[in-house]
Amino acid sequence: MKINLIAAALLFGLTGQVSADPLSIDAPSASWAGAYIGAFGGWTNSKTTGTDVTGEEWGPPGAILGMTDAGLIGGVAAGYNFQNGNWVFGPELELGWISNDKLYVDPTDDDDGVYTQYGFYGALTGRVGYVANNTLFYGKGGVVFANMRNAGGEFDGIGNEDGRGKWGFDGNEAGFGEETRTGLTVGAGMEHALSDNWTFKTEYMFADFGTKTYGHVDGDMSQPFDFNNHIHTVKVGLNYRF
């Protein structure tokens, strides 16, 4: 009888404990709300696809010459977090530099080439994420802009004889463009709180700048070339929360 009473008491105690402390996801131990600044660095992989619209230089109309290029990225970021329970959301601005700079010459025809160079860039995005065990898992998306050079067509290393060439391409047999291109970006990452103020993040971002058409170095569009550009980035960084 005593054993039965003890067992009943233990069972009642355990049941009471479970009902008093139901399963729940821990709330974040520190607030993520407020402003932050940070710095980051990482790796990039870009792709350029050049298209000879008329086919006068690379072959039939629509002939394509493409390349990929690996590089580095670095910059600074600032943003503001709003928080509702475990959910965190807000705007973020990043400014930086992309090192990708590559010339590709067709090995089957050394007169055909395509060239892309990146430089200064920026992105304005919105982040939405969820905090679990002091780690923020988030997605982001928005607009991106980057200073970019593109060229494609006949490549001879010096340009044509009258000096109208550029970046080694013949000014009369290639398409040229140098401007700040705008596109769309999406990404995802995670950010872990090292302390009340410092966080460490890792992030993937994809940026698509679409397709742009350029003509000869003097703007003549009788022999246009299309350039499609996009880039993948993987970054690590440190943020300071105020």
pLDDT tens column, 106-131? 988 878 999 999 999 999 999 999 99
- Whether 114 maps to a domain, the answer reads yes
Report yes or no on 11 lying in a domain: no
Q: Looking at the domain assignment, is residue 56 inside a domain?
A: yes
Whether residue 184 lies inside any domain: the answer is yes
pLDDT of 32: 96
242 residues of the chain, pLDDT tens digit each: 444 444 444 334 434 444 444 444 455 557 899 999 999 999 999 999 999 999 988 989 999 999 999 999 999 999 999 999 999 999 999 999 999 999 999 988 878 999 999 999 999 999 999 999 999 999 999 999 999 999 999 887 765 544 556 788 888 889 999 999 999 999 999 999 999 999 999 999 999 999 999 998 888 888 899 999 999 999 999 999 99
- Contact indicator for 225, 23 with CB cutoff of 8 Å: no
Answer yes or no: is 7 within a domain.
no
**Which residue shows structure tokens 């055909």?**
112
Q: 29: which 2 tokens?
A: 């131990």
Q: Per the domain annotation, does 71 fall within a domain?
A: yes
Predicted local distance difference test score (pLDDT) of residue 115:
95
Residue 23 lies in a domain: no
Q: How many CB atoms lie within 10 A of CB 163?
A: 10
What CATH number is given to the structural domain containing 106?
A: 2.40.160.20
d(CA 44, CA 64): 23
Containing structural domain, residue 133: 33-241
Q: What CA–CA distance (Å, rounded) separates 8 from 104?
A: 80
Please give the model's pTM, rounded to 2 decimal places.
Answer: 0.84
Q: How many structural domains comprise the chain?
A: 1
Where helices occur in the chain by DSSP H, the ranges are 2-20
The answer as to whether 84 is a domain residue is yes
Query: Which pairing describes strands 198-214 and 87-98: parallel, antiparallel, or unpaired?
Result: unpaired
Structure confidence at residue 127 (pLDDT)? 99
Tell me the two tokens of residue 232.
């993948």
pLDDT of 15-46, one tens digit each? 444 444 444 445 555 789 999 999 999 999 99
Rounded Cα distance, 64 and 227, in Å: 10
Q: What is the pLDDT of residue 156?
A: 78
